[in-house]
Amino acid sequence: MDGDWRDSLVPGGIFGNLRIVKRLGSGGMGLVLLAENPKGVRCALKVLAPSDSSDDGKFETRFRNEADFALKTRHPNLVEVWDAGRDAATGLFYHVIEYMPGGSLRDLISEAKGGLPVGKAVSIARDVAHALVHIERNGMVHRDIKPDNVLFAANGVAKLADFGISRFEHDGDVRATSASAVIGTPAYMAPEQMIDSHSVDIRADIYSFGVMLYELLVGRRPNAGENAMNTLAKAIEGRAFPDVRNLRPEIPAPLAELVSEMTLPDPDDRPGSASGVLLRIVRMIDSGADAVSVAPVATGRIPWYRDRGVLYAATAMLLALEALVLALVRVAKGG
């Protein structure tokens, strides 16, 4: 394309059939913009920066992998991708994504200063756990669980976003990453992910989730102020993070114990599945643990009107009722 690739990506500019409203963010892989379609429906437009010769197409591969996964699977706690492709006019790869007006979990933590109310933190954790259960069942490891990648819908439901560096267990990520690359955000990465990003499983995500939950509860990470190498060295020595109750004694014991187990240095000592983490969170809520009061609004359960099983059953009932009415009409006319 002629000129700088950002030239058309300014407020009022047109990209495909979308009108750019404003820029939402930017990063190494490109830009995220707020846009509107011709009907005025708002969406987030994620545009990949053109790759250079040193990239060997890795970013494009990750970008396509993210779109493939998001378009094939849907879940109430995953941010939806509505469309993806390559723009004919500019040659830029793009995703059209569900717009999340509630901002990010990073914003919420920054505003809270000292940790969220325990009930709110647990509610968000429940939503994230639902998302992790779904991606685990689909043979995938996210590899970048952090507050920046948890976004909020208008109704307060937390949704996991950004699958650009995810690993798919059916084919690994050889096509997308080099053998020496460290993939993820060091402050949230599990020790085994710092050593080898390519062979990790869901327990690495559980570790990152635990670090994030710790931060939700007290307003700071357990490894705040440390660089990645210091954190890794302590993990190799087998040193666990401090108990979250050292900073906030009122946190219920079951919640503090879960956070501690999720962030243990050895992956074999952590919960072995996302469903196990979710079960413990749900039990905590159902048991009415002290200080855990969770509103039922932010839930990972599929609403009845989006549950295909319910819709199929309702359709079958309506068809049966219609057939019965027609039969009665025929009988009446025959009489």
Q: Which residues are catalytic?
A: 144
Q: Which residue has the tokens 């890794």?
A: 232
Residue 310 vs residues 74, 242, 258, 297, 314: alpha-carbon distances, Å:
16, 46, 35, 20, 6
What type of residue sits at position 119? G
Residue 101 vs residues 150, 169, 208, 289: alpha-carbon distances, Å:
12, 32, 25, 31
Beta-bridged to residue 98, according to DSSP, are 43
Own/partner pairs, 217-221, CB within 8 angstroms, 24+ separation: 217/115, 217/116, 217/118, 217/121, 217/244, 217/248, 217/251, 217/255, 217/259, 218/114, 218/115, 218/244, 218/247, 218/248, 219/109, 219/112, 219/113, 219/114, 219/115, 220/247, 221/187, 221/188
Question: Torsions phi, psi of 271, nearest 5?
Answer: -55, 140
Q: Which residue has the tokens 């325990």?
A: 118
Cβ 99 vs Cβ 81: under 8 Å: no
SS3 333: helix
Beta-bridged to residue 34, according to DSSP, are 22, 44
What type of residue sits at position 194? M
Q: Rounded to whole angstroms, how far apart are CA atoms 202 and 57? A: 26
Tokens at 228, concatenated: 């990645």
Question: Could you tell me the maximum CA-CA distance found in the chain, to the nearest angstrom?
Answer: 89
What type of residue sits at position 100? M
Ordered alpha helix ranges (H), the chain = 58-72, 105-112, 118-137, 191-195, 202-218, 228-236, 253-262, 274-286, 308-334
